[in-house]
Chain A
Amino acid sequence: MKKKLISLLLSTALAATLLAGCGSSAADTAAPAADSGAQEAAPAADDSAAADTAAPAANAGGTTYALVTKSAGNPFMERMASGFQEAIEAQGGTVVIQNPEAATPDAQISVIQSLISQGVSSIAVDGNDANALTAVLTEASNAGIKVLTLDSDVAPDTRTVYCNQAGVSQIGETLMEAVYDLTGGEGDWAILSATSQATNQNAWIDAMKKLMESDSKYAKLNLVEVAYGDDEPQKSTDQTQALLQNYPDLKVICAPTTVGIAAAAKVLQDQKSSVKLTGLGLPSEMAEYIGDDDAHSCPYMYLWNPIDLGRLAGYTSIALVDGTITGAAGDKFTAGELGDYTIEEIDGSTQIILGPPFKFDPSNIDEWKTVY
């Protein structure tokens, strides 16, 4: 018993020394709660955040808010995490950012489990699968942790609220309108998506399909195929080339995914194809391909601001933890500089919508390509 106590003390001291060495902000450098917590809290592959995430403090002063992204090594996720971190640190909270090594639900399950054992106050998840996370998120809620989602949702009854970058129908309408505009109102078009089970991709594609059926304006448009590039440049390239070869009358490709749209843009531009491209893409990735003339493959595209989306999730986490909102429809709160938000009931689930998608075209791409 004595030995155990000594070793516990020693490891606590060691962890505290490490913490001090890390140079994290003075306010949070209280002794870590448990000896094992210190190592687990360090994120898998995020150097920038490492200093701030060393360990959750034991006293009530430091509430810890966690964010689980889709995967490491993705600039969109990185910007989102930076917004989240900024919003929470401005309010004096501690942030833990976990980037799973692969964009799979099982990788997320293991990081969420370690967050539960660390006893964080809230977990914001960018779901890699709608249903696979159900068990682990229910476990988190049972442990008293506030669970919310952002970017890509999970099953609605396993989380309190979903921070949606833009309403599904809003994105569907915007993209459909872009396809209508670029095709001139009639002809063949195709979709290049990410993986076939990506929750948000499928929701947007469904919204576009429904619009085509319900609105006679789109009656002359013919969606020839939904291809899946799995968010891999090589496979997206293969799929784009196959679309061009299989459908000689193709006029427009719509790629609502950042990897897919960049791969397709390169294929179209290299081949000097007359097929036009639109969709959702990162400005820094797409700057090379955006232009009105024939030399560029993408006249315009859309996206939201990932930094703002992260901020919104940060403020929502704080509001959930301090009890300002419970996640019920009609709850109102202020998300710092983003303004006032109300939780809405959309498609049978509670959501907070960031705002309409932002249009990137030749007039503003130069100013945005350096931002994200």
Chain B
Amino acid sequence: MKKKSVGQFLSESREASLVIVLIILLIVVGIINPSFLSFTNIRQIFLNNTLTFLMALGMLCVMLTAGIDISITSTLAFAGMSIGLLQKYNILHNTFLLFVIGAVIGIVCGFLNGIIIAKGHVAPIICTMGFMYIWRGMAYVISNNNWASGMDVAGFSDFGKDGAPGPYIILIIAYIIFFVVMKWTRFGRRIYAVGSNTEAAQVSGINVDRTLTGVYTIMGFLAGLAGVLSVSIYASAQPNMQYGKEMDVIAACVIGGVSMSGGRGSVAGTFLGALIIGIISKALPMVNIPNFWQNLIKGVIILAVVILNVVTQRTMERQNLLRREM
């Protein structure tokens, strides 16, 4: 086997091209505002985007099966609002139990998505769109025009306090588990199989319905967990919390090289994608870009990275083809 040039290496690995993008971003922002590269700042990038990082893992699984879930922030709001109100009305103040309750709500929401998509053969975007309205609506209904915040969630919010280790530990554990599961377990490989070729998977004895249901349930679980974390980190439960943020999660996956048509994507890529999204939202206010321009620039960066990704992918495929011909 001949030695590869650096250029070849980069064009052969999508993750590598993302790392390059990341380094360029960091250098540019670092030059404009050196304080961006401080430890506190890097730490806050992870804290402020814990929810995106966490839910991107679930979205990775969903997108690997060629699906999509746009109900996640509604599930998040419903779970978050529920545990916020439990504290507001002094029913429960145990942090661990609140996490369990939020996660269970998420699991139920996700399971319903999964069962309808798998058994009912409803297109994922349609099914999750329905639940997007339902769970958001539920969050409004149970809130009854109240917020839970400040003193209501005092104590509980210490878990997600800036500087507390909780959110980082959850993130690290989640990424390790998903890395292992997606790479080395039968369940992980089944998800890839279902996504790349459903019929082939079925024929080879994989229970497609069960895999699909499992995937959406995992997504729901992570969204519920994110809801609890959100209340803890921002010390505030509002029915409109994280409204529209599902797009950040999908963008993180897409940037990370997860294919919308299924079967392709990795935990490492998802991590890098979420990190890029986090850096963008943290950096734009810090490099003195006027508020009106921030969304526009975010969109341009997302598109640029995705196009770069597609180009890398093509080159990769072409090179593979060439190698086969030789």
Contacts and interface: CB of A to CB of B under 8 A. Distances in A.
B94 interface: no
B234 A233 contact: yes
B141 A45 contact: yes
Contact of B146 (A78, A237, A239, A287): A78
A234 B49 CA distance: 9
B238 A245 contact: no
Closest 9 CB pairs of A and B: A78-B145, A270-B162, A242-B285, A233-B234, A73-B239, A288-B150, A45-B140, A228-B291, A288-B151
A72 B286 contact: no
B292 to A, nearest CB: 7
A89 interface: no
Interface string B131-173: 0000001011101111101110010010001110000000000
Given A246-B33, A284-B151, A73 B240 contact: yes
A267 interface: yes
Nearest to B242: A234
Contacts of A238: 48, 281-282, 285
Given A73-B240, A270-B163, A286-B150, A48 B44 contact: no
A246 B283 CA distance: 11
B150 A284 contact: yes
A270 B285 CA distance: 20
22 contacts: A47-B144, A48-B145, A71-B240, A73-B143, A73-B147, A74-B145, A99-B145, A196-B292, A227-B285, A234-B48, A234-B242, A238-B48, A241-B48, A245-B286, A246-B288, A262-B149, A262-B235, A284-B149, A284-B151, A285-B147, A285-B236, A289-B150
A233 B285 CA distance: 15
B260 interface: no
A142 interface: no
Interface string B298-322: 0000000000000000000000000
Interface in B49-80: none
Given A266-B234, A270-B161, A271-B163, A48 B144 contact: yes
A369 B35 contact: no
Question: On chain A, which size bracket covers the interface?
Answer: 35 or more
A270 B149 CA distance: 15
Contacts of B143: 73
A77 interface: yes
Interface in B21-45: 33, 35-36, 38, 40-41, 44
A267 B162 contact: yes
B150 A233 contact: no
Interface string A52-89: 00000000000000000001111101100000000000
B83 interface: no
A72 B140 contact: yes
Nearest to B49: A234
A285 B149 contact: yes
The interface centre, meaning the residue of A266, A271, A286 with most chain B CB atoms within 10 A of its CB, is A266
Interface residues of B, number: 42
B241 interface: yes
Contacts of A288: 150-151, 154, 235
Interface of A: 45-48, 71-75, 77-78, 99, 102, 196, 227-228, 232-234, 237-239, 241-242, 245-246, 262-263, 266-267, 270-271, 284-289, 369
Contacts of B35: 245-246
Contacts of A284: 149-151
A109 to B, nearest CB: 19
A232 B281 CA distance: 14
Contact of A246 (B161, B162, B286): B286
A289 B292 CA distance: 31
Contacts of B286: 242, 245-246
Given A237-B48, A287-B150, 19 more contacts: A73-B145, A75-B145, A77-B145, A78-B145, A196-B291, A196-B292, A232-B243, A233-B236, A234-B245, A238-B48, A245-B286, A262-B149, A262-B236, A263-B236, A266-B235, A270-B162, A270-B163, A288-B151, A289-B150
Contact of A73 (B154, B238, B292): B238
Contacts of A78: 145-146
A204 to B, nearest CB: 17
A102 B149 CA distance: 20
Nearest to A271: B162
A301 to B, nearest CB: 13
B151 to A, nearest CB: 5
B180 to A, nearest CB: 30
A233 B241 contact: yes
B150 A245 contact: no
Contacts of B282: 238, 241-242
Contact of B238 (A46, A233, A242, A286): A233
Contact of B285 (A47, A239, A266, A287): A239
A241 B234 contact: no
Nearest to B139: A73
A246 B41 CA distance: 11
A289 B288 CA distance: 29
B247 to A, nearest CB: 14
Contacts of B139: 73
Contacts of A241: 41, 44, 48, 282
Nearest to B291: A228
The interface centre, meaning the residue of B38, B137, B286 with most chain A CB atoms within 10 A of its CB, is B286
A137 B55 CA distance: 42
Contacts of B245: 234
A71 B136 CA distance: 14
Contacts of A232: 243
